[in-house]
């Protein structure tokens, strides 16, 4: 935009929540007051929407039509009252949480929030040429002033490098980045143009979400230009400038509101939280079914708990290439019997599927005749490089493609007993700018919205699974994705490289995703590509991996070895015990999944998200909170026998293993030897656990709770959700809610335990306290039995019985959980 062509706007229309501004040059801007804490700005230089639908915005729901949502729709938002003031050359829009001042000449925006009483300016457009009104090129730009000393930036989805994004520049595109450098590679697999800004000076936060599926860039202060001062900016190759400003009383609230706005996370079945075996090597073998069955035998021999297996694409091979929905009957003579064999051992198969048909695919001609592909300028399938061949991507913006895909998923997988889908290699790397997609009847250039194809592939796979077994909750996983993908899938950080550096930075990748609304995530434990991990590296990776929502050991090692739980005899016992620890903690993870689904709470989080008032938590670190109660200090360097960990101020902490109590706001040293990862529990918390002894293919559940009371006067209460773990019956109220209340003083612990809803199958409940706890325990248990309520301040011998071990004080060493598994 030339400095001689700064357009002047005027308020042309006020229609409820929508303000429309226009300029003499024909530019249009809309301001939408959506919530007390969300205001949206849309700038249309030529007064036209270039991408009239969105697939990201789905406030509070998982339901979004396959053809998307009208971009101008305000459905789902509360549209509160607001104040509009005409200032000298400016408009001011004010809600309870946001005050937006718009300079009418140039459309420069300044944003203030009011987390408590006074207004604080948190963001301001760059004072020079903040928005492109079509004077430069056809791209979309937005420049903001940047405070190099004050501001920190978090989120942007799955990114390499540090958790704080300040000073980096990131590509907005998706790519198959196998073997990436976890500290520097850009781009990766996901397209999430959302980030949270934290002002250290103001002690306040806000989020910005750019609703685009276009490729582009987000520069967080890497670029410098003497003429413009310090700035950060967003640029998109196509589409519209359409962004959402989200205020919050805390960073976590901003993250939760963004998650709510982009859609309710999928409530995947409980078994999706268990260990999932995987490797490309088994299905690449000529006797793949035999190799796969050997995995079951080894799990049984070594007593490795496993709930699913991700079936790599080798099952589809013809020769050395892969053909989605094709079963290689030489490798897998009887797919149905194979799938049933796994189910008989309590393991679900999740089959790899790809959205590209190679040019010699047995069904390529069929798909071409049905016009199912993205097309080139000649109306032919757009051919792209895919693995070691060329092929064409299916076009999921064509309803016929969705019908074809769902039928193929059903007849090739679901009817064989494959219960779920692994949506892979779905970055849609179309390079031809002339290639077009159907666009549900309104064709557009395919390069303008590659991430849309990925979202629709997930949606189509989910629909196939839901229609096949409507009583079950679907489970899907996807490597690539875009904003809103949490509505459909669990995900992971792609084809990582085996190294200590990857372990360190994968932690930060997962936290970046969780800060971007995508919590149900994990990593290829042990590393996917490159050399086989050493025993030490594999053990450290498992110690970290069991605390991620998704836990899978997956590999394609250069030397053709396989990352297996039993690959090194010297650590096999340790890994077995860690898998059993994960199974013990699964009720806690399942409640975190419920909270994520129901309340948009991140399942994992950096320490600063929970403790923003402690500046030391903002120093780059390798720590991770699991929910609000557990603090994991992963070991990410070789040859370590201890681990320094900073305990956030604002809470006290227990060593999970020894029960030792520590004050917050200090750095301590924890042992890091053997199989026990450095782990702490927050004082004033409880954790739901499964105390039943677990063995391979012998599912057992016994309800228990770990209670970590305050040392002095204090009180807390918490709830834990439970249901059958698999069906949709919870929608009809068929679920349980456990509630624990703990009141403590120097002499006494008063513990109230209540279960409402569906009563537990077992009448035995175990409470565990730290081993050094010596205070008298007073128990109160309430169980709803039909309309009757039992409430007795003693050990209950009726429907709920409290197990006292070793005596009625219900003391028990926390460390005994793992010790019992060692026996």
Over residues 372-384, the mean pLDDT reads: 98
Residue 527 in domain: no
Residue 66 in domain: no
Beta strands at 216-219 and 53-54: parallel, antiparallel or unpaired = unpaired
pLDDT band, very low/low/confident/very high, at 577 (cuts 50, 70, 90): very high
707 and 664 belong to one structural domain: no
**pLDDT for residue 541 is more than 90:** yes
Final residue of a domain: which of 474, 508, 535? 474
% residues pLDDT > 70 (the chain): 94
pLDDT of amino acid 818 = 39
657 and 777 belong to one structural domain: no
Cα(243)–Cα(240) distance, integer angstroms: 9
User: Treating both helix axes as pointing N-terminal to C-terminal, what angle do 335-344 and 288-302 enclose, rounded to 10 degrees?
Assistant: 10
**pLDDT for residue 677 is more than 90:** yes
pLDDT of amino acid 785 = 36
Residue 271 DSSP symbol: G
pLDDT of amino acid 780 = 82
Question: Could you tell me the residue range of the domain that residue 629 belongs to?
Answer: 606-682
pLDDT band, very low/low/confident/very high, at 181 (cuts 50, 70, 90): very high
Over residues 107-123, the mean pLDDT reads: 93
The mean pLDDT value of the chain amounts to: 93
For 49, left (φ over 0), alpha (ψ -120 to 50), or beta? Answer: beta
Closest by Cα among 725, 569, 576, 744 to 652: 744
Residue 220 in domain: no
**pLDDT for residue 783 is more than 90:** no
Final residue of a domain: which of 421, 445, 474? 474
Give the other-Cβ count within 10 Å of 149's Cβ.
Answer: 7
- Buried/exposed code over 156-189 (b: 16+ C-beta within 10 A; e: otherwise): bbbbbbebbbbebebebbbbbbebbbbeebbbbb
CATH number at residue 631: 2.60.40.1180
pLDDT of amino acid 25 = 95
pLDDT digits (tens, 9 = 90+) for 423-442: 999 999 999 999 999 999 99
pLDDT band, very low/low/confident/very high, at 821 (cuts 50, 70, 90): very low
Residue 307 in domain: yes
625 and 666 belong to one structural domain: yes
pLDDT of amino acid 772 = 87
Over residues 331-347, the mean pLDDT reads: 97
pLDDT of amino acid 121 = 96
Over residues 351-366, the mean pLDDT reads: 98
pLDDT digits (tens, 9 = 90+) for 2-59: 455 799 999 999 999 999 999 999 999 999 999 999 999 999 999 999 999 999 999 9
pLDDT of amino acid 611 = 98
693 and 662 belong to one structural domain: no
Residue 592 in domain: no
pLDDT of amino acid 196 = 98
Over residues 505-519, the mean pLDDT reads: 98
712 and 626 belong to one structural domain: no
H/E/C letters for each residue in 376-442?
Answer: CCCCCECEEEECCEEEEEECCCCHHHHHHHHHHHHHHCHHHCCCEEEECCCCCCCCCCCCEECHHHC
441 and 467 belong to one structural domain: yes
348 and 423 belong to one structural domain: yes
Over residues 525-549, the mean pLDDT reads: 98
pLDDT band, very low/low/confident/very high, at 782 (cuts 50, 70, 90): low
CATH number at residue 310: 3.20.20.80
**pLDDT for residue 451 is more than 70:** yes
621 and 719 belong to one structural domain: no
Cα(313)–Cα(349) distance, integer angstroms: 12
381 and 302 belong to one structural domain: yes
Residue 287 in domain: yes
What separation in angstroms does the CA of 513 have from each of 89, 449, 506, 667, 719?
40, 21, 11, 27, 26
Write down the H helix ranges in 84-156.
none
H/E/C letters for each residue in 529-565?
Answer: EECCCCHHHHHHHHHHHCCCCEEEECCEECCCCCCCC
pLDDT of amino acid 579 = 97
Checking 114-121 for CB contacts under 8 A at 24+ apart, the result is 115/204, 115/247, 115/248, 115/249, 115/250, 120/199, 120/202, 120/204, 121/202
723 and 622 belong to one structural domain: no
Residue 427 in domain: yes
Final residue of a domain: which of 441, 474, 507? 474
749 and 719 belong to one structural domain: yes
Residue 547 in domain: no
Cα(566)–Cα(568) distance, integer angstroms: 6
What is this structure's pTM?
A: 0.95
Give the other-Cβ count within 10 Å of 799's Cβ.
Answer: 15
**What total of structural domains would you count in the chain?**
3
677 and 752 belong to one structural domain: no
pLDDT of amino acid 762 = 76
C-beta separation of 686 from 629 below 8 A: yes
Closest by Cα among 646, 632, 647 to 582: 632
């Amino acid at each position: 935009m030339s400095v001689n062509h700064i357009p002047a706007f005027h308020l042309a229309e006020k229609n409820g929540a929508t303000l429309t501004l226009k300029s003499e040059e024909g530019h249009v801007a809309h301001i939408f007051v959506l919530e007390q804490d969300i205001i949206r700005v849309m700038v249309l230089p030529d007064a036209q929407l270039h991408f009239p639908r969105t697939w990201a915005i789905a406030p509070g729901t998982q339901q979004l039509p396959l053809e998307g949502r009208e971009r101008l729709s305000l459905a789902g938002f509360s549209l509160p009252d607001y104040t509009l003031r005409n200032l000298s050359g400016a408009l001011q829009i004010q809600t309870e949480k946001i005050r937006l001042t718009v300079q009418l000449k140039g459309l420069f925006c300044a944003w203030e929030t009011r987390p408590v009483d006074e207004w604080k300016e948190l963001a301001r457009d760059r004072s020079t040429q903040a928005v492109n009104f079509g004077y430069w090129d056809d791209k979309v730009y937005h420049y903001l002033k940047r405070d190099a000393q004050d501001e920190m930036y978090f989120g942007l989805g799955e990114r390499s490098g540090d958790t704080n994004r300040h000073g980096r520049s990131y590509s907005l595109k998706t790519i198959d980045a196998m073997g990436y450098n976890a500290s520097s590679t850009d781009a990766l697999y996901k397209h999430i143009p959302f980030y949270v800004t934290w002002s250290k000076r103001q002690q306040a936060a806000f989020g910005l979400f750019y609703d685009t599926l276009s490729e582009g860039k987000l520069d967080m202060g890497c670029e410098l230009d003497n003429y413009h001062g310090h700035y950060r900016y967003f640029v998109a190759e196509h589409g519209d400038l359409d962004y959402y400003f989200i205020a919050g009383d805390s960073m976590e609230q901003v993250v939760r509101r963004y998650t709510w706005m982009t859609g309710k996370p999928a409530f995947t079945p409980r078994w999706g939280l268990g260990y999932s075996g995987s490797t490309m090597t088994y299905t690449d073998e000529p006797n793949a079914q035999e190799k796969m069955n050997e995995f079951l035998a080894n799990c049984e021999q070594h007593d490795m708990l496993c709930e699913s297996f991700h079936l790599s694409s080798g099952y589809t091979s013809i020769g050395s290439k892969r053909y989605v929905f094709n079963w290689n009957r030489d490798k897998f003579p009887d797919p149905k019997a194979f799938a049933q064999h796994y189910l008989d051992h309590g393991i679900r198969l999740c089959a790899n599927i790809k959205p590209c048909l190679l040019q010699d695919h047995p069904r390529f001609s069929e798909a071409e005749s049905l016009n199912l592909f993205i097309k080139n300028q000649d109306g032919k399938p757009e051919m792209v490089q895919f693995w070691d061949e060329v092929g064409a991507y299916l076009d999921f913006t064509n309803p016929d493609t969705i019908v074809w895909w769902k039928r193929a998923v059903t007849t090739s997988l679901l009817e064989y007993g494959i219960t779920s889908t692994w949506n892979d290699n779905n970055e849609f790397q179309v390079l031809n700018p002339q290639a077009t997609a159907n666009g549900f009847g309104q064709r557009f250039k395919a390069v303008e919205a590659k991430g849309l194809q990925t979202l629709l592939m997930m949606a189509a796979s989910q629909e196939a699974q839901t229609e096949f077994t409507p009583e079950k909750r679907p489970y899907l996983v996807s490597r690539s994705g875009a904003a809103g993908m949490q509505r459909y899938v669990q995900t992971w950080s792609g084809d990582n490289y085996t190294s200590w550096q990857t372990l360190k930075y994968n932690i930060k990748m997962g936290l970046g995703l969780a800060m971007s609304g995508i919590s149900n995530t994990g990593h290829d434990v042990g590393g996917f590509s490159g050399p086989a991990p050493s025993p030490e590296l594999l053990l450290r990776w498992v110690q970290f991996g069991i605390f991620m929502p998704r836990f899978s050991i997956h590999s394609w090692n250069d030397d053709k070895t396989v990352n297996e739980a039993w690959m090194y005899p010297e650590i096999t016992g340790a890994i077995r015990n860690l898998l059993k620890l994960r199974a013990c903690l699964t009720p806690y993870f399942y409640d975190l999944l419920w909270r994520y689904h129901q309340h948009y709470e991140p399942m994992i989080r950096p320490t600063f998200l929970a403790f923003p008032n402690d500046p030391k938590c903002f120093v780059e670190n390798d720590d991770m909170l699991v929910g609000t109660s557990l603090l994991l200090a992963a070991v990410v360097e070789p040859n370590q026998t201890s681990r320094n960990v900073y305990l956030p101020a604002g809470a006290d902490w227990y060593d999970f293993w020894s029960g030792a109590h520590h004050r917050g706001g200090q750095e301590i040293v924890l042992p890091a030897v053997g199989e026990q990862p450095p782990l702490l529990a927050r004082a004033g918390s409880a954790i739901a656990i499964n105390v039943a002894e677990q063995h391979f293919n012998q599912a057992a559940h016994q309800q228990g709770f770990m209670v970590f009371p305050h040392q002095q006067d204090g009180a807390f209460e918490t709830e834990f959700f439970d249901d059958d773990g698999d069906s949709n019956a919870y929608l009809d109220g068929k679920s349980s809610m456990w509630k624990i209340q703990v009141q403590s003083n120097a002499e006494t612990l008063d513990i109230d335990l209540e279960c409402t809803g569906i009563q537990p199958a077992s009448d035995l409940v175990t409470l565990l306290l730290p081993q050094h706890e010596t205070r008298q325990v007073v128990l109160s248990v309430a169980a709803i039995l039909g309309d009757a309520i039992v409430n007795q301040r003693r050990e209950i011998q009726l429907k709920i019985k409290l197990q006292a071990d070793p005596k009625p004080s219900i003391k028990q060493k926390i460390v005994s959980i793992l010790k019992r598994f060692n026996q």
